Structure 1
Amino acid sequence: MELHHNVGLLLMRQEYSTEGQLCRSCLKRAFWHHTLRNVTLGWWGMISFFMTWYFLVSNLLTYLRAQSELGRARPREDSRATVATGDEAQKLLGPFEHNVRMLLRSGDAPETIAKDLARTHSVEPSAAQRFVEQIRSAE
């Protein structure tokens, strides 16, 4: 998943992006970050004017597709569902380290982050809590 914004500078332009696997709240935050910058800073310059429109449409489609994938990725509330523990849980959660760092920096409670990780990725709550605490202590 990749989102972009354009900053028009009359004679030149700059492009910024966010790329990665994002949780629902990080996806929403990144989408609005790029959308607001496109709308306010993207129009200044001939090429920038058109790139801004392209990025606005592209980001919207990316956002909707990612939201749909996140909706399908939710674990079933089935008591027979397997729950990862230990090293397996750490391996499953590893790709989301950046997301956890962003959530911690934005002030989200570590317990809330861990609970969401455990529910979303079918890992044991204590393993998710350890993962969040490892990241928190490394900061």
Structure 2
Amino acid sequence: MRRSYTTSGELCRRCLNAAFWHHTLRNLTLGWWGTISFFVTWYYLLSNIVTYVQARIEIGKTRQRHAPRPVATGDDAFSILQPFEHNVRMQLRMGDAPEEIARHMVRLHGVEAAAALRFVERIRQAEEAAA
């Protein structure tokens, strides 16, 4: 039985790397088990590599275009960080410390450190409540 998995969203470089390796390793270990799957696996591997390289180039272009911006606080910071909620959930599930995730978001998104930490903690608490 063949299955396809995708990860989509606005991923930071770290989450892009994590998603790429997750899918690539799954493909390398589980993709070869059928006659048709043997050939399809090669297509998926090449497709994943091309998509990964294109995404890394896009991340590089985005960094070059953006000039330093003022630090966002409060509700402004939350609205900037909201599209990256999935990234935070992935990092928390991988065992990253909330403080490290918040520090990473401050550097990438230009938000106040306290607001980033509140954002991450809110997501962490929601994840714990759901478990």
Length-normalised TM-score, structure 2: 0.84
1:18-50 CA-to-partner distances (Å, cap 9, x unmatched) read 222222222111111111121222123233223
Count of aligned positions? 125
Which residue matches 2:14? 25
Distance (Å, rounded) in 2 between the aligned partners of 1:73 and 1:128: 21
Which residue matches 1:137? 125
Cα RMSD (Å): 1.7
1:121 aligned to 2:109?
yes
Which residue matches 1:93? 81
TM-superposed deviation, 1:99: 0.9
Query: 1:110 aligned to 98, 116, 122, which one?
Result: 98
Tell me the secondary structure at the aligned position of residue 3 of structure 2.
Answer: strand
Unaligned runs of 5+ in 2: none
Distance (Å, rounded) in 2 between the aligned partners of 1:105 and 1:121: 21
Percent identical residues: 63
Moved more, 58-67 or 16-25: 16-25
Distance (Å, rounded) in 2 between the aligned partners of 1:83 and 1:71: 21
1:66-89 CA-to-partner distances (Å, cap 9, x unmatched) read 12222233354x4xx222222121
**Which of the two has greater strand per residue?**
1
Matching residue's letter, 1:33: H
Distance (Å, rounded) in 2 between the aligned partners of 1:35 and 1:124: 35
Unaligned runs of 5+ in 1: 1-11
1:49 aligned to 2:38?
yes
